[in-house]
Structure 1
Amino acid sequence: MQAWQVHQNGEPSEVMRLAEVAPPAPGEGQVLLKVRAASVNFPDALMCRGLYQVRPPMPFAPGMEICGETADGRRVIGNPVLPYGGFAEYAVANAAGLLPAPDALDDAEASALHIAYQTGWFALHQRARLEPGETLLVHAAAGGVGSAAVQLGKAAGATVIGVVGGAEKAAVARELGCDLVVDRRAEDVIATVKEATGGRGADVVFDPVGGEAYTQSTKVVAFEGRIVIIGFASGTIPSPGLNHALVKNYSIVGLHWGLYNTKNPKLVQHCHEQLTELAARGAIKPLVSERVPLSGAATAVQKVADGVTTGRIAVVMEATA
């Protein structure tokens, strides 16, 4: 089979190599999946660079999220067990972690559902307890996980403010349903959000960026607001001033979605059921901005690493496109 492999750390476009290798052999409790589509995630780039918290043995195939097909023909989504990731014709996954792919989504969309939308759902509902009528601010609102948070926020009855970088991403955020879009390159984020909320600020802030975005979050979070830390796409991990959180009376909560797979897997299943229902009624639909063949995976991962994408890029197998 064909599979992308990483033999050393570096930029994805430099260290990912397409090779002909033997299909992986599943271990106990695992299944071999024919990959139908694989979604590109920012952690794929971090793993290539050796900067992710999970460091699979080399050589490894990146690709953390797939829509695949079982030997008996079931269409499923899941997270491959590294080093046999999804940027390959076949991948290995834990049987217990597989979920049925929603009928309302095609292969590329289904491959982009699991991590981003589970992350968004857990952040907004489990950690921040978002209520209808509240104001939600989403940083990187046109990105993969940000676009999921926007759709989930709207589905939950929130007023959604999207912060983006550039006119193209602003247009995408508007199409996603943001009630207000703030282009951080052309507008003062803090002033614009305060004006739009009558000085009150956002009840919930969804922050996958860190760095300057986090600093802005602390200045626009409302009384008894919640800032949910998703990740640090900016590359800068902020050091929060806890005295500021005390004085302004807001909460800083973290989300490591992967922990729920071991700590509370039943909640992951419940979340998937909720997402499937939302997809069936058209309330959510992963924004797949680009679909590329397996041969284009390295370029796709590099694009995500460089922060020049909107929504998600999906690697789609030609035979099942």
Structure 2
Amino acid sequence: MRAIQITEFGGPEVLTVADLPDPAAGPGHLLIDVSRAGVNYADTHQAENSYLSESTLPMVPGGEVVGTTPDGRRVVALVGTGGYAEKAVAPEALAWDVPDAIDDLTALGMIVQGASAWVLLRRSVHLEPGESVVVHASAGGVGTIAVQLAKAWGAGRVIATASSERKRQLALDLGADVAIDAGVPDLTRALIDANEGRRVDTVLEMTGGTVTDQSLRALAPFGRLAFYGMASRKEPSPVRPATLMSHSTTISGMWLAHVFQLPGNVMRRALDELFALAADGGIRVVAGGEYGLTEVRRAHEDLRARRTTGKLVLDPSR
């Protein structure tokens, strides 16, 4: 089969097309003919070995696929690694049947980005109806879904941030009440002004650096910030517990992998709700671009340069 293989860590330049043996599915696993593979920002960290879980070489990157099993099931699955290929193997417990009404793009957009937005709003910040929500990187895969979910679940005001006018307009089109540039000199004041002069209740943050610092300062008493990425690759300032107490604020972290340690099959609940909303037209996955397998370097370059919006996918047939 054709696949993308990494034999040394680094940037997009280490992603190389290779002919590799077909994988074999052992007990408790499914072999999947991949119709599309998802591309996530985490994949850029995986390629340079800067992700939360350590990578080993040689490696076929890519953590999510949609396709068909030998017995004809159409599934979307989390594979950890091995997704950038014509065939992939997934644990049966991490593969979910895709309803007929859900296309490949939507299936891939929901399994990581959609589920992340669901968990962030439901479990990390515990959004209450009427509360304000700041969605940073609102034109990205998680951000586009989070804006729509926050509105669907009764947020009082959704404040989106994005780096360009085009991205900010996308956030408004998806239902955000206001969209601002996170790169302004005084982001704290800009967020408060965007919330009509009030401090904000919740923040979904994956940028890091000063964006995190200034967002924390914009929180209202009992405000919550959920941190789920660091796209800038810059650490925020350390936070003293006494500072949290003095403002009654909460910081949480979220890594989707931990969802599978929770009782009650949280991932299945999230996907059922997301697929139902998508089938009814309540939310949609924004197509961020489809790349051939041979174009994977450009996909990573576009992601790292923040040129993309929505969900990126790879077509392994080209």
TM-score, normalised on structure 1?
0.93
Indicate how the Cα distance of structure 1 residues 221 and 44 shifts in structure 2: closer, same or farther if over 3 A, else same. same
Indicate how the Cα distance of structure 1 residues 244 and 199 shifts in structure 2: closer, same or farther if over 3 A, else same. farther
Indicate how the Cα distance of structure 1 residues 111 and 189 shifts in structure 2: closer, same or farther if over 3 A, else same. same
CA distance in 2, matches of 1:142, 1:153: 14
CA distance in 2, matches of 1:49, 1:55: 10
Residue 98 of structure 1: how far off its partner (Å): 0.7
Instruction: Tell me if structure 2 keeps the 8 A contact 1:105–1:285.
Output: no
Structure 1 residue runs of 5 or longer lacking an equivalent are none
CA distance in 2, matches of 1:245, 1:92: 44
Matches within 5 A, 1:1-321: 1-12=1-12, 14-82=13-81, 85-158=82-155, 159-185=157-183, 188-238=186-236, 239-264=238-263, 266-318=265-317
Q: Which secondary structure state, in structure 1, belongs to the residue aligned with residue 32 of structure 2?
A: strand
Instruction: Tell me if structure 1 keeps the 8 A contact 2:222–2:249.
Output: yes
Instruction: Tell me if structure 1 keeps the 8 A contact 2:182–2:211.
Output: no
CA distance in 2, matches of 1:74, 1:165: 40
CA distance in 1, matches of 2:46, 2:85: 16
Residue 44 of structure 1: how far off its partner (Å): 0.7
Residue 57 of structure 1: how far off its partner (Å): 2.8
Superposition RMSD in Å: 1.7
Residue 87 of structure 1: how far off its partner (Å): 0.9
In the alignment, residue 39 of structure 1 is paired with which amino acid? G
CA distance in 1, matches of 2:158, 2:23: 44
Deviates more, 1:239-248 or 1:280-289: 239-248
Structure 2 residue runs of 5 or longer lacking an equivalent are none
Indicate how the Cα distance of structure 1 residues 187 and 156 shifts in structure 2: closer, same or farther if over 3 A, else same. farther
Q: Which secondary structure state, in structure 1, belongs to the residue aligned with residue 304 of structure 2?
A: helix
Q: Which secondary structure state, in structure 1, belongs to the residue aligned with residue 288 of structure 2?
A: strand
Q: Which secondary structure state, in structure 2, belongs to the residue aligned with residue 285 of structure 1?
A: coil
CA distance in 1, matches of 2:56, 2:136: 33
Deviation string 1:289-309 (CA, Å, 9 cap, x unpaired) is: 211222212221222123221
CA distance in 2, matches of 1:202, 1:215: 14
Q: Which secondary structure state, in structure 2, belongs to the residue aligned with residue 259 of structure 1?
A: helix
Instruction: Tell me if structure 1 keeps the 8 A contact 2:131–2:201.
Output: yes
Deviation string 1:12-51 (CA, Å, 9 cap, x unpaired) is: 2x11110111111122211110111111101111111111
In the alignment, residue 9 of structure 1 is paired with which amino acid? F
Deviates more, 1:53-62 or 1:279-288: 53-62
Q: Which secondary structure state, in structure 2, belongs to the residue aligned with residue 35 of structure 1?
A: strand
CA distance in 1, matches of 2:153, 2:299: 32
Residue 103 of structure 1: how far off its partner (Å): 3.2
Instruction: Tell me if structure 2 keeps the 8 A contact 1:37–1:66.
Output: yes
In the alignment, residue 107 of structure 2 is paired with which amino acid? A
CA distance in 1, matches of 2:52, 2:107: 25
Residue 263 of structure 1: how far off its partner (Å): 3.6
CA distance in 1, matches of 2:5, 2:176: 38
CA distance in 1, matches of 2:269, 2:122: 12
User: What is the total number of aligned residue pairs between the two structures?
Assistant: 316
Instruction: Tell me if structure 2 keeps the 8 A contact 1:200–1:223.
Output: no
Deviates more, 1:93-102 or 1:195-204: 195-204
CA distance in 2, matches of 1:38, 1:154: 29
Residue 86 of structure 1: how far off its partner (Å): 1.2
Deviation string 1:202-243 (CA, Å, 9 cap, x unpaired) is: 211001112111112112111211111111111122222333
Indicate how the Cα distance of structure 1 residues 31 and 274 shifts in structure 2: closer, same or farther if over 3 A, else same. same
